[in-house]
């Protein structure tokens, strides 16, 4: 590639572009870095003025996000004797005792169950429908596909009104099953669109060859098409998972004590009298970092998926 | 990722789904109590250990922070959820919960167990238990008495140099304010003052938009200025009462206080933001519910002798009222464990438990506890609590409470924080909104 | 109609393949494959939509199980359209929509253009820029309130550091004139990468030979940019705008956590307003009418836009 090409930018242009983009990237991740660093600050360091860049790290925020604490009077604390564990010691210096676990672990588990549950269901249904749309000629296909897609245009709050009533009469309010079904339905349109694109790319000759070899249509789908579409299925799955993981509006309106996911819960983390920012940051960090790591590791599939999905539509 | 990975992912999903099925089965001998997430709730967890030991029932708790409390819990009640067996719901919900059959009526239970409402502070019985108001129909047992009052920096007030300067400026001692006018002077005096090398501000007040914050704060002040919810002789007749000249003055006062004397960024503050501002030493005066006082008293920065407490000062005509807070404990109709839930209320109503409740930082509403001669001096804020409790008024507890509150939140925040229109406009608008709500309710 | 399309799926299958079938017939397979998705979408999307339309003509309230439900005709619709406050929330939404789109298109396109210079390590930095849009808006929005705090917040501190203003002298969330910008800033931070990625896809789809041809014609770089780059990227850019438009019209989580609609009602977007009516005041019938109006609005605007988009594509 030593020959001169007009489409290849000059080294100077590359340098300038690189510096500008890196500058923007650094500014844009600053809030995320701030969330992570705040989670290791003590409450007083977190609200220090001016904001502290260097501080002594502590895991107090993480202890606080997983526990509930009660304030006791000095006499009552004396009566309790010496704290036995490291986390007891940590809260004891603020005049508090740990009275039990918080709901954070449950909410996080709910996010995992509902996220993965709806993703699996969405992929199973979506792949099947996408296969049918891709392989069989459907006269009204475009209309049907557009109809499927248009269901995403409704504001979630508007959709939530009848869903609330429906869930109430079916006993699905605040259940994992209800949320899994709902998120599956919301994601299904995107998943069908994306997967149809991936399956379209697989040459039909493979299946025909399999059918000639005596496979049934279903076997051909299962043993030939699915493995070919695996990459596409994986990146679609990541999208469904991230959507379900991040979703807030439905979760805040339709879940409560049993099936509430982490996004409505994290903003409601408060300390014992007063906002406990390190605990909020600790909860947010635990919740956000998996997605960040995921994004960086799977960037090739993910970025392609975003543009592919959008541009196809 | 290969297809095999996806299959294992699917298996994992199935595994998790199986896990849900098993965790879904609740222990028959447990009860869930729903309340706001705040200091008293943590104290109740400790207190309830006695009940668990005696009854063998495991107590579970669902605490929701104040800004989301009404939203979440009313949603829970309206969706017919079975999460809460016991609900310590806000005083204003009682009308809706009673009329829509969301709470169990407790009269028979009280009669059977010999629990008498006359044993409780009268204002709390009316406020937390009765619907319709002032009729012997009980839907809750008064659980936690609460009222808006003030805490202040006693140590700053006691500084000779500040006292001298204040006296020179205002011609009177720097002391606990007797009127709202005096309160504003003091707040102005402290605003942006350097104390121990830190800039401090006048007062932390309620300005929150999302739930009920600014309404609680504004109402707390408006009562003493002469605001009335309705024509005392003609229910639901609002024009001229809600937007009377006195009420307009009160609302103007609240805005002046907000504009002159609050810390920076105080545009969306409710209980926890105000505690933060006070405990971090930012403000001299602090409007908040009485529940905050035990925590302030125990605080390392501002606790002990550094803080004092006073009930709402008087308005221009000498009248003094305060906004009622607090809640009663109710049994939720859709609960399948009503027997155990009633057993909990029976346990909770015992005088010795109520005494212990007070000692742990819960404001008992039992007369036997608060009329004990030792009560008033047991804590530095106990007398202020009693004085405040004697002058309470409460917001609408109508079934349409949520609509009434929303209208107030909007009108007050638009005027006080966003500075739109005049106080008269805001209250005229509010009277119009409320009349519309009652019209929809078929009250006219 | 749906039934027949599934049938036609089967009928339209090439006979050669159909003849080779064992086990399930193609028709049954098509049913089996499309059926569950259609059923689920009908149950969770279409049935509720019809129910919403029905409720919108009543005075039904979820929190009044005992009250009689009355048919009120078009009253809910008329009340909404004549309500000044609702037009104010529409204005707030329009302000939010327009400015987020303008900023995101400008910054997103610039970034894509720069990244397309293919400097070393560009894909890693692209990924880092993309991070915010992968995260939960509610959780991140909540944390931004901390960054926006006067005095202690990083944002105010940074602005103070750069401009010399006192960081405690302004409150992004509390100030009537700043709050609408506070939400625009966070949304732009979060979603610029989306526009950027789509523009990047557009830029990369332009064959180098076109530029080479232009170079032969001695067209200046500036001219190439306006006559080749922009027109060819435009369909992509318009798509990005469509998606951001629809998403931000629906905007709820981020702004609820950031400002909750305040101060006053300055940042009360339609979704927030609708939530108050439906789930705080529990005026279900009224809120249903509101929801239908929003749906018709977004559907109508999107359809017009898509027509325009197709025209651009055809050129």
Closest B-chain CA to A100: B45
- And the tokens for C187? 């949304």
What is the pLDDT confidence band of residue B25, given thresholds at 50, 70 and 90?
A: very low
Could you state, in order of their start, the residue ranges of all structural domains in chain C?
2-55, 75-314
Q: pLDDT tens, B143-169?
A: 999 999 999 999 999 999 999 999 999
Q: What is the mean pLDDT of residues B259-266?
A: 93
pLDDT at residue C41, rounded to an integer: 85
Chains B, C: CB contacts within 8 A come to: 87
Mean pLDDT, all residues of chain C: 87
Q: Which residues, numbered 119 to 148 in chain A, qualify as contacts with chain B under a Cβ-Cβ cut-off of 8 Å?
A: 119-120, 123-124
Q: What is the mean pLDDT of residues B365-386?
A: 93
Residue B38 to chain A, least CA–CA distance (Å): 7
The continuous run of DSSP H or E covering C94 comes out as: helix C84-115
3-state secondary structure of A101: strand
C307 at A interface, C-beta within 8 A: no
Mean pLDDT, all residues of chain A: 85
Assess whether B197 and B273 both reside in one domain.
yes
CATH number for the domain including B53?
A: 3.40.190.10
- And the tokens for C113? 């253009």
- And the tokens for B21? 């099925």
pLDDT at residue A272, rounded to an integer: 63
CA dist A198 and C105 (Å) reads 28
Assess whether B345 and B387 both reside in one domain.
yes
CA dist B24 and A106 (Å) reads 12
The reply to whether omega before C309 is within 30° of 0 (cis) is: no
Assess whether B318 and B235 both reside in one domain.
yes
- Among B238, B225, B412, B231, residue whose Cα is nearest residue B323: B225
**Whether the Cβ atoms of residue B262 and residue B203 lie closer than 8 Å to each other:** yes
Residue B313 has pLDDT above 80, yes or no: yes
Residue B272 has pLDDT above 80, yes or no: yes
Assess whether B110 and B165 both reside in one domain.
no
Domain C75-314 has CATH 3.40.50.620: no
- And the tokens for A145? 């596909």
Assess whether B125 and B172 both reside in one domain.
no
Residue A17 to chain C, least CA–CA distance (Å): 5
Assess whether B343 and B410 both reside in one domain.
no
Closest B-chain CA to A117: B13
Residue B48 lies inside a defined structural domain of this protein = yes
DSSP 8-class letter at C71: B
DSSP 8-class letter at C69: P
B414: nearest CB among C59, C63, C265: C265
Q: Token pair 């489409």 is at which residue?
A: A7
A277 at C interface, C-beta within 8 A: yes
Which whole-number Å values give the CA distances from B309 to B137, B213, B286, B354, in the listed order? 35, 21, 9, 23
Residue B219 has pLDDT above 90, yes or no: yes
- Residues present in chain A in total: 313
Q: What is the mean pLDDT of residues B305-331?
A: 95
Cβ contact C280–B71 (<8 Å): yes
CB atoms within 10 A of CB B326: 27
Q: pLDDT tens, B106-156?
A: 999 999 999 999 999 999 999 999 999 999 999 999 999 999 999 999 999
| pLDDT-above-70 percentage for chain A | 89
CA dist B403 and C66 (Å) reads 18
Structure ipTM:
0.89
Residue A205 to chain C, least CA–CA distance (Å): 11
Residue B7 lies inside a defined structural domain of this protein = no
Q: Which residues pair with B130 in a beta bridge?
A: B138
CA dist B205 and B207 (Å) reads 6
B399 at C interface, C-beta within 8 A: yes
Assess whether B228 and B341 both reside in one domain.
no
Could you state, in order of their start, the residue ranges of all structural domains in chain A?
105-268
Q: What is the mean pLDDT of residues B2-27?
A: 43
C contacts of B417 (beta carbons < 8 Å): 174, 176, 262-264
Name the residue range of residue B33's domain. 29-146+326-393
Q: Which residues, numbered 67 to 96 in chain C, qualify as contacts with chain A under a Cβ-Cβ cut-off of 8 Å?
A: none
Residue B97 lies inside a defined structural domain of this protein = yes
- Among B149, B88, B147, residue whose Cα is nearest residue B348: B88
Cβ contact B413–C265 (<8 Å): yes
Residue B22 lies inside a defined structural domain of this protein = no
Half-sphere CA count of C168, side-chain side, radius 13 A: 14
- Among C313, C311, C117, C315, residue whose Cα is nearest residue C200: C117
Per-residue pLDDT tens, chain C, 315 aa: give them.
344 444 554 555 554 454 444 455 677 777 788 888 888 888 888 888 899 999 999 999 888 877 888 899 999 999 999 998 899 999 999 999 999 999 999 999 999 999 998 888 888 899 999 999 999 999 999 999 999 988 788 999 999 989 988 888 889 998 999 999 999 999 999 999 999 999 998 998 888 888 888 888 888 889 999 999 999 999 889 989 988 999 999 999 999 999 988 898 999 999 999 999 999 888 999 999 999 999 899 888 888 988 888 888 776
Residue B407 lies inside a defined structural domain of this protein = yes
C165 at B interface, C-beta within 8 A: no
**Helix/strand/coil (H, E, C) string of chain B?**
CCHHHHHHHHHHHHHHHHHHHHHCCCCCCEEEEEEECCHHHHHHHHHHHHHHHHHCCEEEEEEECHHHHHHHHHHHHHCCCCCCCEEEEEHHHHHHHHHCCCECCCHHHHHHHCCCHHHECHHHHHHHHECCCCCCCECCEEEECCEEEEEEEHHHHCCHHHHHHHHHHHCCCCCCCCEHHHHHHHHHHHCCEEECCEEEEEEECCCCCCCCHHHHHHHHHHHHHCCCCCECCECCCCCCCCCCHHHHHHHHHHHHHHHHHCCCCCCCCCHHHHHHHHHCCCEEEEEEECCHHHHHHCCCCCCHHHEEEECCCECCCCCCCEEECCEEEEEECCCCCHHHHHHHHHHHCCHHHHHHHHHCCCCCCEHHHHCCCCHHHHCCCHHHHHHHHCCEECCCCCCCHHHHHHHHHHHHHHHHCCCCCCHHHHHHHHHHHHHHHHHHCCCC
In this predicted structure, which of A131-140, B403-412, C132-141 has the lowest mean pLDDT? A131-140
Assess whether B348 and B301 both reside in one domain.
no
* Alpha carbon A132 to its chain's center: 29
Cβ contact B10–A124 (<8 Å): yes
A209 at C interface, C-beta within 8 A: no
Closest B-chain CA to C277: B403
Q: Token pair 């919810």 is at which residue?
A: B229
Cβ contact A154–C120 (<8 Å): no
Residue B442, sorted as left (phi over 0), alpha (psi -120 to 50) or beta, turns out to be left
Residue A286 has pLDDT above 90, yes or no: yes
Cβ contact B79–A164 (<8 Å): yes
Q: Model pTM?
A: 0.88
Residue A69 to chain C, least CA–CA distance (Å): 23
Residue B259 has pLDDT above 60, yes or no: yes
Residue B16 has pLDDT above 80, yes or no: no
Helix axes C230-249, C284-314, angle to 10 degrees: 180
pLDDT at residue A219, rounded to an integer: 85
- Residues present in chain C in total: 315
pLDDT at residue C68, rounded to an integer: 84
A contacts of C126 (beta carbons < 8 Å): 21, 299, 303
CATH topology of domain A105-268: MetI-like fold (1.10.3720)
Q: Token pair 């109520």 is at which residue?
A: B354
Pairing of strands B198-204, B193-195: antiparallel
Residues 6+ apart with CB under 8 A from A6: C208, C211, C212, C215
Q: pLDDT tens, B37-78?
A: 888 888 899 899 999 999 999 999 988 888 889 888 998 898
Q: pLDDT tens, C138-169?
A: 999 999 999 998 878 899 999 998 998 888 88
Q: Which residues, numbered 233 to 292 in chain C, qualify as contacts with chain A under a Cβ-Cβ cut-off of 8 Å?
A: 236, 239-240, 243, 246, 249-250, 252-253, 257, 270-271, 274-275, 278-279, 284, 287-288, 290-292
Compute the CA torsion angle C250, C255, C256, C257 (nearest 10 deg): 140
In this predicted structure, which of A1-5, B100-104, B330-334, B419-423 has the lowest mean pLDDT? A1-5
- And the tokens for B301? 């920065």
pLDDT at residue C136, rounded to an integer: 95
Residue B4 has pLDDT above 50, yes or no: no
pLDDT at residue B363, rounded to an integer: 93
pLDDT at residue C302, rounded to an integer: 86
Q: pLDDT tens, A245-275?
A: 999 999 999 998 889 999 999 988 876 656 7
C contacts of B75 (beta carbons < 8 Å): 279
CA dist B97 and B399 (Å) reads 7
Assess whether B312 and B221 both reside in one domain.
yes
pLDDT at residue B12, rounded to an integer: 40
A73 at B interface, C-beta within 8 A: yes
| CA angle, residues A85, A88, A94, in degrees to nearest 5 | 150
Closest A-chain CA to C107: A24
Residue B61 dihedral angles phi and psi, to the nearest 5°: -130, 145
Q: Which residues pair with B141 in a beta bridge?
A: B329
Residue A60 to chain C, least CA–CA distance (Å): 18
Q: pLDDT tens, A152-200?
A: 778 889 889 999 999 988 989 899 999 999 999 988 888 888 888 888 8
- And the tokens for B175? 């002391």
Half-sphere CA count of B48, side-chain side, radius 13 A: 22
Residue B366 has pLDDT above 80, yes or no: yes
Pairing of strands B327-331, B86-90: antiparallel
C77 at B interface, C-beta within 8 A: no
Q: What is the mean pLDDT of residues A108-135?
A: 93
Cβ contact A270–B272 (<8 Å): yes
Cβ contact B101–C280 (<8 Å): no
What is the pLDDT confidence band of residue A110, given thresholds at 50, 70 and 90?
A: very high
Q: What is the mean pLDDT of residues A109-127?
A: 95
Residue B260 dihedral angles phi and psi, to the nearest 5°: -85, -35
Residue B20 has pLDDT above 60, yes or no: no
Residue B9 has pLDDT above 60, yes or no: no
CA dist C235 and B416 (Å) reads 47
| Burial of C181: CB neighbours in 10 Å, binned 0-12, 13-18, 19+ | middle
CA dist C211 and A9 (Å) reads 12
B contacts of A80 (beta carbons < 8 Å): none
| pLDDT-above-90 percentage for chain A | 37
CB atoms within 10 A of CB B305: 10
B209: nearest CB among C66, C169, C263: C263
pLDDT at residue A312, rounded to an integer: 55
What is the pLDDT confidence band of residue A309, given thresholds at 50, 70 and 90?
A: low
Helix axes B423-440, B401-416, angle to 10 degrees: 170
Residues 6+ apart with CB under 8 A from C264: B209, B410, B413, B414, B415, B417, B418, B420, C176
For chain B, the domain total comes to 2
Residue B28 has pLDDT above 50, yes or no: yes
CB atoms within 10 A of CB C217: 9
Half-sphere CA count of B266, side-chain side, radius 13 A: 28
Residues 6+ apart with CB under 8 A from A163: A182, A250, A254, C44, C48
CA dist A277 and A299 (Å) reads 31
């Amino acid at each position: 590639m030593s020959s001169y090409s007009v489409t290849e930018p000059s080294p100077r242009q590359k340098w300038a572009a690189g510096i500008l983009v890196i500058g923007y990237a650094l500014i844009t991740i600053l809030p995320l870095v701030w969330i992570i660093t705040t989670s290791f600050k003590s409450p007083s360091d977190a609200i220090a003025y001016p904001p502290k860049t260097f501080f002594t790290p502590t895991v107090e925020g993480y202890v606080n996000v997983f526990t509930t604490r009660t304030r006791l009077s000095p006499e009552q604390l004396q009566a309790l004797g010496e704290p036995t564990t490291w986390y007891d010691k940590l809260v004891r210096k603020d005049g508090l005792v740990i009275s039990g676990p918080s709901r954070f672990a449950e909410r996080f588990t709910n996010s995992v169950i509902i996220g993965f549950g709806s993703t699996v269901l969405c992929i199973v249904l979506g792949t099947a429908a996408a296969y049918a749309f891709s392989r069989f000629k459907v006269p009204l296909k475009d209309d049907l596909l557009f109809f499927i897609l248009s269901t995403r245009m409704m504001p979630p709050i508007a959709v939530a009104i009848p869903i609330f009533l429906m869930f109430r009469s079916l006993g699905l309010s605040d259940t994992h099953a209800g949320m899994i079904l709902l998120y599956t339905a919301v994601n299904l349109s995107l998943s069908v669109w994306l997967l149809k694109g991936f399956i379209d790319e697989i040459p039909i000759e493979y299946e025909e060859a399999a059918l000639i070899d005596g496979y049934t249509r279903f076997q051909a789908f299962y043993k030939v098409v699915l493995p070919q579409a695996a990459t596409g299925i994986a990146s679609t799955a990541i999208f469904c998972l991230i959507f379900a993981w991040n979703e807030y509006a439905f979760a805040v309106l339709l879940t409560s004590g049993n099936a509430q996911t982490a996004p409505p819960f994290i903003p409601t983390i408060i300390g014992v009298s007063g906002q406990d920012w390190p605990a909020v940051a600790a909860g947010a960090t635990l919740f956000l970092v998996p997605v960040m790591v995921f994004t960086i590791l799977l960037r090739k599939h993910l970025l392609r998926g975003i543009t592919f999905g959008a541009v196809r539509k | 990722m290969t297809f095999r990975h996806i299959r294992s992912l699917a298996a994992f999903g199935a595994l998790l789904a199986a896990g849900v099925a098993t965790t879904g089965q609740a222990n028959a001998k447990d009860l869930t109590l729903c309340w706001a997430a705040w200091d008293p709730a943590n104290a109740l967890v400790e207190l309830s250990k006695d009940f668990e030991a005696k009854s063998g029932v495991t107590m579970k708790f669902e605490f929701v922070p104040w800004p989301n409390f009404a939203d979440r819990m009313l949603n829970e009640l309206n969706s017919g959820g079975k999460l809460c067996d016991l609900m310590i719901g806000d005083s204003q919900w009682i009308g809706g919960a009673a009329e829509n059959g969301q709470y169990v009526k407790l009269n028979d239970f009280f009669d059977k167990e010999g629990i008498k409402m006359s044993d409780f502070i009268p204002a709390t019985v009316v406020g937390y238990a009765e619907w319709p108001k002032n009729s012997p129909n009980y839907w809750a047992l008064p659980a936690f008495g609460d009222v808006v009052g003030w805490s202040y920096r006693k140590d700053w007030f006691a500084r000779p140099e500040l006292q001298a300067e204040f006296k020179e400026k205002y011609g009177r001692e720097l002391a606990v304010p007797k009127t709202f006018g005096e309160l504003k002077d003091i707040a102005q005096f402290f605003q942006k003052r350097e104390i121990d090398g830190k800039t401090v501000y006048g007062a932390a007040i309620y300005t929150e938009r999302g739930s009920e914050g600014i309404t609680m704060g504004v109402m707390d002040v408006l009562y003493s200025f002469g605001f009335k919810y309705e024509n005392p002789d003609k229910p639901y007749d609002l024009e001229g009462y809600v937007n009377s000249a006195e009420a307009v003055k009160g609302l103007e006062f609240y805005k002046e206080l907000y504009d002159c004397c609050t810390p920076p960024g105080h545009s969306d503050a409710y209980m926890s933001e105000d505690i933060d501002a006070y405990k971090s030493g930012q403000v001299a005066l602090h409007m908040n519910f009485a529940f905050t006082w035990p925590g302030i008293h125990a605080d390392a920065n501002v606790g002990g002798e550094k803080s004092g407490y006073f009930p709402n000062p008087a308005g221009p005509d000498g009248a003094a009222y305060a906004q009622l807070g607090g809640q009663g404990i109710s049994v939720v109709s859709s609960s399948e464990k009503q027997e155990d839930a009633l057993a909990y209320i029976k346990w909770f109503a015992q005088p010795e438990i109520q005494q212990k409740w007070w000692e742990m930082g819960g404001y008992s509403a039992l007369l036997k506890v608060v009329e004990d001669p030792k009560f008033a001096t047991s804590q530095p804020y106990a007398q202020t609590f009693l004085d405040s409790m004697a002058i309470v008024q409460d917001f609408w507890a109508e079934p349409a409470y949520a609509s009434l509150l929303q209208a107030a939140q909007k009108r007050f925040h638009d005027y006080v924080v966003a500075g739109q229109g005049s106080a008269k406009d805001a209250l005229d608008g509010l009277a119009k909104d409320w009349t519309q709500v009652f019209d929809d309710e078929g009250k006219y | 109609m749906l039934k027949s399309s599934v049938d036609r799926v089967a009928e339209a299958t090439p006979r050669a393949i159909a003849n080779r079938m064992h086990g399930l017939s193609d028709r049954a397979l098509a049913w089996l494959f499309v059926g569950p998705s259609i059923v689920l979408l009908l149950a969770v999307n279409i049935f509720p939509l019809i129910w919403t339309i029905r409720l919108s003509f009543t005075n039904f309230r979820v929190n009044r199980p005992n009250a009689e439900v009355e048919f009120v005709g078009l009253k809910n619709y008329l009340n909404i359209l004549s309500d000044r406050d609702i037009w104010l929330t529409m204005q707030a939404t329009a302000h939010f929509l327009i400015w987020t789109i303008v900023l995101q298109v400008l910054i997103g396109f610039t970034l894509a253009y720069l990244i397309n210079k293919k400097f070393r390590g560009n894909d890693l930095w692209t990924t880092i820029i993309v991070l915010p849009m992968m995260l939960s808006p509610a959780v991140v929005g909540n944390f931004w309130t901390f960054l926006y705090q006067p005095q202690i917040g990083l944002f105010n501190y940074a602005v103070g550091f750069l401009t010399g203003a006192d960081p405690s002298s302004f409150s992004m969330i509390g100030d009537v004139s700043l709050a609408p910008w506070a939400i625009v800033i966070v949304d732009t931070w979060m979603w610029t990468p989306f526009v950027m990625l789509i523009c990047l896809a557009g830029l990369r789809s332009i064959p180098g030979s076109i530029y080479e041809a232009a170079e032969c014609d001695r067209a200046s770089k500036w001219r190439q940019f306006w006559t080749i780059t922009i027109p060819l990227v435009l369909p992509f850019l318009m798509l990005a705008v469509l998606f951001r438009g629809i998403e931000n019209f629906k905007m709820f989580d981020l702004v609820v956590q950031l400002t909750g609609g305040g101060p006053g009602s300055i940042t009360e977007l339609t979704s927030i307003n609708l939530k108050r009516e439906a789930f705080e005041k529990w005026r279900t019938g009224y809120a249903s009418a509101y929801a239908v109006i929003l749906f018709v609005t977004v559907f109508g605007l999107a359809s017009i836009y898509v027509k325009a988009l197709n025209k651009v594509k055809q050129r």
